[in-house]
């Protein structure tokens, strides 16, 4: 794929958000806040950072992307559709019986998915295993493994077991991204199970740690470039995001974690996104 620059990525992310709102309203169930907040990160990955080929999803030279917080699947599906893995119209089949676009990604259902995710906390272990093979068994120098995690998901002990493993084996092919939006289904992450000092936790497990604004496209691109330069350890990018980003009545509201817009709310949301798109293009 032709790599887009930061301004093109910003415009593309708005279209990804628009698709998220429309598909969730059409499905009548799913998660809104997280996917909207992660749209910039997934857009940067699928339209600039990942080495991949939508026309050949099984290409052996591709980078791997795993979505550990699988309930945020709408943003993954939207990014993949806009990148050319399948028709954008298919997004309207989200969560339907027999659809390739289930509520959590199912690897065998859709070409381009690298893992099946449902139980939270498992993605980092899967990604670390893949990175270990690339680095210590196949010795492939130019392939990277990316894994997206939610901050609420870091409550799972499996995450920290995998973090220990990756630190021990210095998996420099592994780039973790934490969607640090400070919400989970029951409220604020810092009320449910405090995570700070989050950077120090990862550093203590032997990781290279970067903290960025997860809506700043250039910061995302620069952070991944920095991660690729870390030759002796895995990297985690803690990306601070706004849940519900781009839709004013959803932003920062944890109640939208597992809630979808009705038709009137979807119209209002897409109108806001259209205004953002017009501003970005002017």
Residues 6+ apart with CB under 8 A from 225: none
- Domain boundary assignment for the chain: 6-281
Cα 49 from chain centre: 13
- The pTM score is 0.95
**Which residue from 72, 53, 73 is spatially nearest to 63, judged by alpha carbons?**
53
Q: What is the DSSP letter of 112?
A: T
DSSP 9-58: HHHHHHHHHHHHHHHHHHHS-S--HHHHHHHHHHHHIIIII----TT-TT
**6-281: which CATH number, 1.10.3720.10, 3.40.50.1820, 3.40.50.970, 1.10.10.10?**
3.40.50.970
Q: Which residue reads 């940067």 in tokens? A: 44
How does pLDDT run across 93-139, given as a tens digit for each residue? 999 999 999 999 999 999 999 999 978 999 999 999 999 999 999 98
Report whether 170 contacts 234 (CB < 8 A). Answer: yes
φ, ψ for residue 28 (rounded to 5)? 80, 5
Query: Would you tell me how many other CB atoms lie within 10 Å of the CB of residue 55?
Result: 9
pLDDT digit string (tens) for the chain, length 282 residues: 668 888 999 999 999 999 999 999 999 999 999 999 999 999 999 999 999 999 999 999 999 999 999 999 999 999 999 999 999 999 999 999 999 999 999 999 999 999 999 789 999 999 999 999 999 999 877 899 999 999 999 999 999 999 999 999 999 999 999 999 999 988 999 999 999 999 999 999 999 999 999 999 999 999 999 999 988 999 999 999 999 999 999 999 999 999 999 999 999 999 999 999 987 655
How does pLDDT run across 146-156, given as a tens digit for each residue? 999 999 999 99
Residues 6+ apart with CB under 8 A from 180: 151, 198, 214, 238, 239, 240, 241
3-state secondary structure of 64: strand
């Amino acid at each position: 794929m032709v790599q887009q620059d930061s301004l093109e990525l910003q415009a593309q992310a708005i279209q990804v958000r628009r698709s998220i709102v429309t598909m969730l309203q059409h499905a009548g169930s799913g998660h809104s806040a997280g996917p909207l907040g992660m749209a910039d990160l997934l857009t940067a990955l699928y339209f600039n950072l990942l080495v991949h080929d939508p026309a050949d999803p099984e290409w052996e030279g591709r980078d791997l992307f795993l979505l550990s917080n699988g309930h945020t699947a709408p943003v993954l599906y939207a990014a993949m559709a806009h990148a050319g893995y399948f028709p954008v119209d298919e997004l309207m089949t989200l969560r339907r019986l027999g659809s390739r676009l289930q509520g959590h990604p199912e690897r065998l259902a859709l070409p381009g998915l690298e893992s099946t995710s449902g139980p939270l906390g498992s993605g980092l272990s899967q990604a670390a295993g893949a990175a270990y093979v690339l680095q210590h068994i196949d010795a492939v120098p130019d392939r990277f493994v990316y894994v997206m995690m939610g901050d609420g998901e870091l409550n799972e002990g499996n995450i920290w077991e995998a973090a220990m493993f990756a630190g021990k084996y210095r998996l420099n092919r592994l780039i973790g991204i934490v969607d640090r939006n400070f919400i989970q289904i029951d409220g604020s992450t810092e009320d449910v199970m405090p995570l700070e000092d989050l950077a120090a936790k990862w550093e203590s497990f032997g990781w290279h740690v970067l903290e960025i604004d997860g809506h700043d496209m250039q910061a995302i691109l620069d952070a991944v470039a920095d991660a690729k330069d870390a030759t002796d350890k895995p990297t985690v990018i803690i990306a601070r995001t706004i849940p519900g980003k781009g839709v004013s009545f959803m932003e920062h509201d944890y109640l939208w974690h597992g809630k979808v817009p009705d038709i009137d709310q979807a119209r209002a949301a897409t109108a806001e996104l259209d205004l953002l798109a017009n501003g970005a293009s002017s």
